[in-house]
Structure 1
Amino acid sequence: MNNFAVDVVGMDGDTLGVLQSLREIPGLLAFTVLFWLMFIKEQRMAIISLAILGIGVSITGMFPSIYGFYFTK
């Protein structure tokens, strides 16, 4: 991730710091999974999560800008 961010996107220390801060948000949102598990079975939740992860990783290379990189990470 760091090689792509520095070489392709052109990020520096400040923008990488913002990126690291934004990467913490999904960890905090993981607590909402407990709420969703009251309505969705575990296997379906795992499939949905895996699909969202795959889509996010696959579109990362399509946005070689700082804001695109923030959005996909």
Structure 2
Amino acid sequence: MRLEGRLFEVLAERGEQVTAGTPIVSWDPASVTDPDMDRTILVVLMDQAPDSIVSPAIGTDVVAGDVLFTQE
């Protein structure tokens, strides 16, 4: 089963400036019922200078409200 964007609600528009704590996407992991489907979510940060972003979250499990990125 491919989700093709279903089950996700986009809360921020493309180009919208957001601040820490602003929800940008919402989804319910329990809605993915295929046991063979990984519930890992990839977060990609673009348009930043190389090595200007630090992430304490790389390689960890996170919960709502955790800081994903900081800028040096």
Q: What TM-score do the two structures reach when normalised by structure 2?
A: 0.23
Q: Which has the higher contact order (CA 8 A, sep 6+)?
A: 1
Task: Indicate the structure with greater strand content.
Answer: 2
Q: TM-score, normalization: structure 1?
A: 0.23
Which one has the bigger helix percentage?
Answer: 1
Larger Rg: 1
